[in-house]
Structure 1
Amino acid sequence: MEKRKIGSKIAVLTAAAMIILAGCGQNEDEKIYLDEVKAEDYVKLPEYKGLQVVQALPEVTDEYRDAYINYLLSLNPPEGAKDGDTVNIDYVGTLDGVAFEGGTAAGQNLTLGSGRFIEGFEEGLIGAKAGDVVELNLTFPENYINEEMAGQSVVFTVTVNTIMAAEPQELTDEYVKGLDNGCSTVEEYNQYAYDLLMEDAEESYENAIENSLVNMLMESTEFTKEPPKAMVEGYVSMLNENMEAEAANYGMTLEQFIGAGFGMDAENFAKEMEEQAKQYARQYIMLQAIADKEGLSVTDEDVEKEIEELTAENGGDMSVEEIKAEMDMRRYKEYMMSQKVMAMLRENAVVSAE
């Protein structure tokens, strides 16, 4: 599993994903919310209107579009993995039913036929399709570098996440007609792919502007005292819950996940989480202080309306009450407040391409 920086990984966890969790790791009577603190007591705000941001305009070149289409043509071939294809896999190796050290990983890219793994591992994945779970009964070679595993019979349980074919499928009108996107010609599909990529580029453009605005304000805001301990602990709980959920998706414990993914032990991971949680608390207090100064607020009716929209977007699979039961409603209200503030900051920002 590729080692990652904890900061960049946690940054992927959006505020929305964090705060809609019920926060089971912290007792209700231990929680503290923004409406229980006077935000202006914690910060001295800088000028926050008219902030200047330099951000390149969104662009999708023909080369980028073609590379994207080629990626899709190579992704998850219907006939399964062949020699020379690259599979992305999670695996757990067990000896006598117990996972052994170094035998578990997630998100590994492996080119079949490369000889990177012990004999039989790569061969056993030939013909596997994306989503398959394959059990491989293998034996480590007698001269294996790890003497404890040399000659041992083990079982690898391998989950195939994706397959990238060495040779992409051919893009033809016939191929396009078989896709569920309303296109019937290669020309139409090229435009469809361009539109998708431009939509993504425009979203990334707006996200980059908002991130710049927040970073500028975090750097120029004077934090006069530390955020409440209970608030920080609440964010720690939510970050942990997100990480535990991701670890579970890989079939790993949190300790295994942080070791494989970030190359750190539990103690150092806890310190990183604590610091990240403090940053979240400071950021939300800062945004609340701006909201208070601007008279921005979120009503219960606003929250109810948004939950109804979430229900509709979810295809009605969950009722409003079921969604609300999975959410910390006061945290979600805080999130909606932050979105209002960000919209105001974005509206008043001066954005240029250079």
Structure 2
Amino acid sequence: MKKRLLALTLVLCMIFSLLAACGGDDTQADAVIYDYDYDLSEYIKIGEYKGIEYTPQELAVKEGDTVSVSYVGKIDGEEFEGGTGTNNNLVIGSGSFIDGFESGLVGAKAGEVRELNLAFPDPYENNPELAGMPVVFTATINSINGYTDEDEMNKAEIWQKYYDSCEVIKYPQKELDGMKEQQREYYESLAAAYGTDFDELLSAMSMTAEDFDAQIEEYAKSMIAQDMALYALARAEGIEADEESIEEAKQYVLEAQGVETEEELRDNYGIDFDDPSLANSIEMNAILQKTLDFLLENAEKAEPAE
């Protein structure tokens, strides 16, 4: 199977596409429920999933990493305009911040808070009034390359090895057609949001209709292959979503969409957890997380190189 880099929350791509396509639009087509409720052995041959060897890695900031960082800057103990940021993505070594900020984060772990005693450059073209002034930034590392702890990195490596060992026999037509239609609806809603039509959007993306169809088919096949690899393994080991894992998946959706309650989700996107498609995607994510836990528990740590 062709190798692809997989995010641990791969199923949330479906959730976010669903939310973006909704927004209270009653014209949305009937959604497909991706439960793969049939014998998957006709569609995919799963590989070995116990005893997968992985190399534990330390999750600490280094040059070239992309970190999500929140920070508060103070001059003489007082916050100042433009000195605060939340969940900013920063490539370490890019020179996006003043000298000492990025290098001061090297070695930090996810969740760590660092206090950086720095000074603005002189001259400082971005804000001449701050030129040469001492400043203290309190910076919190939210994630490193999308990960919040070492286990997430290890699970990603193990899942990738398992997934690469699987072999797709054929793709189920219902899910393939449904996912392609879902993607088309997403881009049509995107075009409407920009006040244009679908054909003009494709033109702006330098794509023909044939290019677009080929792209969404490739995407759909990639997602379906991942789904089938997940469900086939989960069923082989009797892994099912439970109340706790469902609630965790719901909370992740709320946080990712920047809302705190289901009511806010409904107000902003015209959808709630009773929606069959969203409920299906949340259940799938819950199964994914439990399956990743299972893979890690049954994996083998590689011996460190001498």
User: Do these two structures clear the TM 0.5 threshold for a shared fold by scoring above it?
Assistant: yes
2:162 matches 1:217: yes
2:281 matches 1:336: no
2:214 matches 1:265: no
Judge conservation of contact 1:59–1:201 (CA < 8 Å) in 2: no
Which residue of the other structure, out of 272, 287, 293, is the alignment partner of 1:323? 272
SS at 1:285 equivalent: helix
SS at 1:203 equivalent: coil
Aligned mates of 1:232, 1:340 — CA distance in 2 = 25
- 2:220 counterpart residue number: 277
How far did 1:245 drift? 4.7
Aligned mates of 2:64, 2:212 — CA distance in 1 = 40
1:260-290 deviation digits (Å, cap 9, x = unpaired): 44x3212111111112101211211111110
Judge conservation of contact 1:34–1:285 (CA < 8 Å) in 2: no
Specify whether residues 172 and 27 from structure 1 end up closer, same or farther in structure 2 by C-alpha distance, changes over 3 A only: same
SS at 1:196 equivalent: strand
Q: Going by fraction, where is helix more abundant, 1 or 2?
A: 1
- 2:37 counterpart residue number: 36
Unaligned runs of 5+ in 2: 22-26, 75-80, 83-123
Aligned mates of 1:69, 1:33 — CA distance in 2 = 37
Specify whether residues 319 and 38 from structure 1 end up closer, same or farther in structure 2 by C-alpha distance, changes over 3 A only: farther
SS at 2:273 equivalent: helix
Judge conservation of contact 1:49–1:348 (CA < 8 Å) in 2: yes
- 2:177 counterpart residue number: 233
Counterpart residue type for residue 43 of structure 1: I
- 2:24 counterpart residue number: none
- TM-score norm. by structure 2 comes to 0.57
- 1:167 counterpart residue number: 126
1:35-71 deviation digits (Å, cap 9, x = unpaired): 5222233222221122233475333259989xx899x
Unaligned runs of 5+ in 1: 1-6, 79-164, 176-185
SS at 1:296 equivalent: coil
Counterpart residue type for residue 57 of structure 1: E
Counterpart residue type for residue 18 of structure 1: M
SS at 2:47 equivalent: coil
1:289-341 deviation digits (Å, cap 9, x = unpaired): 10011110114675367547866983337168852255611232122212221
Judge conservation of contact 1:59–1:198 (CA < 8 Å) in 2: no
Aligned mates of 2:7, 2:207 — CA distance in 1 = 18
- 1:102 counterpart residue number: none
- 2:61 counterpart residue number: 60
- TM-score norm. by structure 1 comes to 0.51
Judge conservation of contact 1:44–1:221 (CA < 8 Å) in 2: yes
Aligned-pair Cα RMSD in Å: 4.5
The 10-residue stretch of structure 1 (48-57 or 285-294) with the greater mean CA deviation from structure 2:
48-57
- 1:138 counterpart residue number: none
How far did 1:206 drift? 5.6
Aligned mates of 2:133, 2:262 — CA distance in 1 = 37
Count, aligned residues: 235
